[in-house]
Amino acid sequence: MKKSLNLRSLAAQTIEQVVEKGQSLSNVLPPMQQKVSDKDKALLQELCFGVLRTLPQLEWLVSKLMSRPMTGKQRTIHYLIMVGFYQLLYTRIPAHAALAETVEGAVAIKRQSLKGLINGVLRQFQRQQDELMAEAAKHESRFLHPAWLMQRIRKAYPGQWQEIIAANNQRPPMWLRVNRQHHSRDEWLKLLSEAGLEGQPHPHYRDAVRLDTPAPVHVLPGFEQGWVTVQDASAQGCVDLLDPQDGETILDLCAAPGGKTTHILEAAPAAEVMAVDVDPARLKRVYENLQRLGMNAEVKQGDGRFPAQWCGKQQFDRILLDAPCSATGVIRRHPDIKWLRRDRDIAELAELQKEILEAIWPHLKSGGTLLYATCSILPEENSLQVAAFLNRHPEAKLVETGTPELPGIQNLPAEHEGDGFFYAKLIKN
């Protein structure tokens, strides 16, 4: 590989974009992966995800081993050193190779004069690793979360916060959705077993299967033919609760990337589905998902706060509102969320959710069903949001999901479970 495309330097630059510039990892990483060979794409992803998952601990190690932080144009070196620490601590890459490649990364970003510094810091870490990690195990950085988020999780879940934090820091399980138009889940599990892979059915969600070991999609029976889709179990819970029926008009609002749109059509292939999202770039994914599965839906770009602009006065039998949220339930899939979100975002997001709920409610037919969902675990966006809505709307009745005093079902992330997700099912009387 050309020196200019040193994989460690690409990882350091990617992480810097996320942490310093507030860029989403899912936007920054793919173009970086295009610069390396196919066999190196997975390692680049592992280094970026891994460093972002363990960032506070790595920051603490840098502060212990360097007398002053790297600033300005040298800042990339700060992240390159972290990439070095991560390899030594969490990968099976031989130490000598991790060191050599990380030091070489300085050349790729035209900081050749700092090779000695990087080498010195990484070797010092190797010498002191045991005592440093023993000290790190007592430091608050061991939780690997920003302080504001820790505080909110502890307040909301005084008895469970440690399990939630631990789940957020794990690698996510791989969940699949079996397309019931092609096979029952049990039939597909047999095909999976015949392909030499094993999976477990979810106890509550009828189409969900967890792979015992994550696998590339091309080895999954019938993936290309649309027999199965990668989708977290908790996300699948939305359509189970929505319970769409053939012949109904159904709105999937905030639909991108389209996993729930296609799930609605698998459950009710003769439903008329409109999928709406505000983000034109992410709407492309909705088209791609519909195309792969050979399905049709009306796809529109539109803002949930102003439905008249994209559906006039139309009313729907069912509405799935997967509201924009803090995404605090999916941190294990997107560790950059911890560093992109700010404490002040939560109140702003809750206000946006309220505006969308209020705007879309008149577009639900009398007797119709609205499912409010988020991939958040914070009460301000979930139970408190729905309780306030029920207070303002006596014609809204909560069904199947909690009580008016404590509305909704809150899933929390867990090792063999789905992501953190919230659902509240409302009927308009």
- Give CA angle at 246 (245, 248), nearest 5°: 75
Contact predicate 229/179, CB 8 Å = yes
DSSP 243-283: ---TT-EEEEES-TT-HHHHHHHHH-TTSEEEEEES-HHHH
Contact predicate 221/182, CB 8 Å = no
| Catalytic choice (238, 254, 325, 375) | 375
Within a 10 A sphere around the Cβ of 93, how many other Cβ atoms?
A: 17
Cα distance between residue 239 and residue 294, in whole Å? 19
Within a 10 A sphere around the Cβ of 151, how many other Cβ atoms?
A: 13
Residue 300 backbone dihedrals phi, psi, to 5 degrees: -135, 145
Residue 376 backbone dihedrals phi, psi, to 5 degrees: -115, 160
Q: Which residue has the tokens 């045991």?
A: 130
Q: Which two tokens stand for residue 97?
A: 């190779």
Cα distance between residue 273 and residue 249, in whole Å? 6
Cα distance between residue 389 and residue 417, in whole Å? 29
Which residue from 374, 386, 383 is spatially nearest to 330, judged by alpha carbons?
374
Q: Which two tokens stand for residue 45?
A: 């992803």
254 is catalytic: no
- Give CA angle at 416 (411, 417), nearest 5°: 20
Which residue from 69, 66, 169 is spatially nearest to 120, judged by alpha carbons?
66
Contact predicate 178/234, CB 8 Å = no
Which residue from 219, 225, 220, 224 is spatially nearest to 209, judged by alpha carbons?
220
Within a 10 A sphere around the Cβ of 251, how many other Cβ atoms?
A: 29
- Give CA angle at 38 (36, 39), nearest 5°: 100
Contact predicate 76/12, CB 8 Å = yes
Q: Which residues contact 72 (CB under 8 A, 6 or more apart)?
A: none
Q: Report, as residue numbers or ranges, the catalytic residues.
A: 375
